Structure formats: structure tokens, C-alpha cells
Chain A
């Protein structure tokens, strides 16, 4: 496949069958390999779409500085795109994220400002909003509320899935900014409304939920509950177990959030088998395992791996 530039190659990711994890010939699992994007994560789609949209709206002028709260992947994607389009990037990232994320941000020339571990991404959002107020010339694309984020998935990820798997019955993805689920969900509601849209939400350690009061809770502005069929909370134990099964049985080396998504997908598959229904269940491989190597999650027992990511933002 030939493209005019790296940015033109974003998306068009492979959808691969999982013959060993699929429970039967009638209930099949399909993995959409978003780790094949330029920086190795699904966030390349949203980052490119948000920057191109801001350029079209005239919000971004040459040499502008972008600001973004991110637990890592979106920041890395924005850094890659920004470098090629001639912008600076400042990321606000929680300090309890893997070392590789900071290294990758530095490689693509982004500056990192750390937010406190307690409160997780909520704190990153708060700190970024304060910085935006202090630096009115900076442009915050704000992935949690930017329609271009979901639109990237409405215009690309959704149509790619339907073209590759016309018999799709279920779509499962992670719930972070909600962009993937909202975009793909809206696409299927309009084009194949019987497809179930399932969210897998990572359940972190207690540190991440360390809010001072409940009014500090956060729901992304993009979130529209009516687009989802259901939503599961997946803890680190299940996420790690599935991440390793994906590697052992199918050879796919994915990050831990993908394990959480696979866990929800396997739950749906088991229900379909029990109900004697056929199903084609597609799910998102958000990123590869590379940037989690230093955390130790692929080594030792599952209990040791769980200890290793306690308190970390692993998705």
C-alpha cells in the first residue's frame, strides 16, 4: 500500500480473526489492529482529525502551541502530527503513567507537565484547563469534548469495520474519551442499527479514584449514553489475564487496555454461545505492548503483574 506521507497512512488497519479465542465457528472474535498506526495506537486517528479540523477552522496558525491533557497515547499521537505540521505541543500527563510514554513524547518533541497521580486524568484535565486560562494563545484541542475525535471514527473506523465484516453483530471498545465508541456507535446506528455497541471501562486502583469530593467527577462532553448497548467495568486482574491470553493464543502483543476490551468481548461471546446465537464480535486493539514493557506486566505471575500496575493509569 502506497501513501503520499506518513499522515496519509493513518487508519486502514487490518481486522484479523482470532481462531483460538473464538468459542465456536458461529461465534467469532475479530481484532482491529490499531497498533498498526504510525505511533502505534488508535489515538493517531483522533489526533490527526482534531488538528486538520482546527486548521480548517482557522484556529491553528503556523507555529502555534497546542495544549492537551492526556494519559499518554493521545499526547504521543498529537506530538507526531504536530511535529510534521509545524506546531509545538505541551502535554499535561498524570505522573502515574509508564516511563515509555514520557520517552515517546520527548522523541516527537513535546513538552510534558505532570499532574498529581491522585485523581488520575481528572487532575490532568483540571491542570490543563488552568494552563489554558493562563496562556490564551495556546490551543487546547481537548479530546474529551472535540467532535472531530468522534468524527474520525464515524468517518473511518466504522466504515472500515463494516466493509471488512459485513456480518458484524457486536463492536467492543475502551471507554476513555468515548470518541471511538461514540463515532463507531453513531455510524452503526445509521448504517446497521442492530449492531450492539459495548463499552469496556478500565477499573483502576484506588489512587485514581482519589477525588476530594463527588462534584469533581468527570464525564467526557462527547459521551452520549444512548449510543451504547451496555458498559462493563473491567479490573486489572481480568485485563492482564486477557492481555496474556491474546499473546499466548493468538500471538498479538497488545497493551493492557486491550485486555480489558477482550475480557468484555469474551463475555459477550459466552452469552451468544449460551443463547445458541451466532455472532461476529469486532473489538479494538488500542495499542501494542511496547510502551508497557518497563511496568513488568508481561513478566512473572499475574499477581506480580497486578502489583506492578497498582495505582498506575494502565489504559
Chain B
């Protein structure tokens, strides 16, 4: 299953500047593992020993994965994943 993953500016050095890349996996963890395989170094910018890094937000179809099943969130056909750094609003 091929998933589209949108990459924020700050992580594009890993993807040769690509804004969006394809990855495989049935869970978010599998997708991130696949990203690390194809874009070495990106994985550790996203997760650490405790899970998703504090200032990283990942959304599956616009919903924050922290409110789904975190790294175990199921990913289906036609789902899209967006990675963004946490920024201030207000």
C-alpha cells in the first residue's frame, strides 16, 4: 500500500527537497520505518525512545495521530500523512 507523506520544509534536506514522498506501511510506525529506509536520518528527527518527538505533529487525513493510536495508528488506502513542526498560534 502506497501512502503520500507531506514533508515540512525543515525535513526536506532528507528528501532532496521533495515536498511530498511515497511510503509503504499499514501502520504509522511502518510508514516511518519505510521513510527511514529511503531517507536515512529522517526517522530520528521524528521519533525518540519515548515515541513521537515533542515538537513534531503528524496527521493522518488531518487528524492528529496523538488522538488516534499514535505510532500504531492504522493507515489505509488513499490516506494521506502530513508531518509538521509545532508552532505558535494566537
Binding site for B on A (CB under 8 A): 69-71, 73-74, 119-122, 124-125, 143-144, 174-177, 179, 201-204, 206, 208-220, 225, 228-235, 315
- Nearest-CB distance from B61 to chain A (Å)? 9
Chain A proximity of B64: nearest CB distance (Å): 4
Contact of B90 with A by CB under 8 A = yes
Quick check: A233 and B88 within 8 Å, CB to CB? no
Is A209 a contact partner of B64 (Cβ separation < 8 A)?
Answer: no
Residues of A within 8 A of B89 (CB): 71, 121, 174-177, 201-202, 315
Measured between alpha carbons, how far is A29 from B28 in the docked complex, in Å? Answer: 33
Closest to A68 in B: B90
Contact A218–B10 (Cβ < 8 Å): no
Closest CB of chain A to B25's CB: distance in Å?
20
Chain A to chain B contacts (Cβ below 8 Å), 7 pairs:
A70-B90, A209-B87, A214-B45, A228-B67, A231-B66, A233-B64, A315-B89
Is the CB–CB distance between B55 and A214 below 8 Å? yes
Chain B residues within an 8 Å CB radius of A74:
90
Nearest Cβ in chain B — how far from A156, in angstroms? 18
Given A211-B10, A213-B10, A230:B88 Cβ within 8 A:
no
Tell me the smallest distance from the CB of B5 to a CB of chain A, in Å.
Answer: 14
**Apart from A210-B10, A211-B10, A217-B56, what are 11 other A-B pairs with CB-CB below 8 Å?**
A74-B90, A121-B87, A124-B88, A144-B90, A203-B84, A206-B8, A209-B87, A213-B10, A214-B45, A217-B85, A230-B67
> Contacts of B90 on A, CB cut-off 8 Å?
70-71, 73-74, 121, 143-144, 176-177, 179, 220
Asked whether A209 lies within 8 Å of B63 as measured between CB atoms, the reply is no
Contact B82 A233 (CB under 8 A): yes
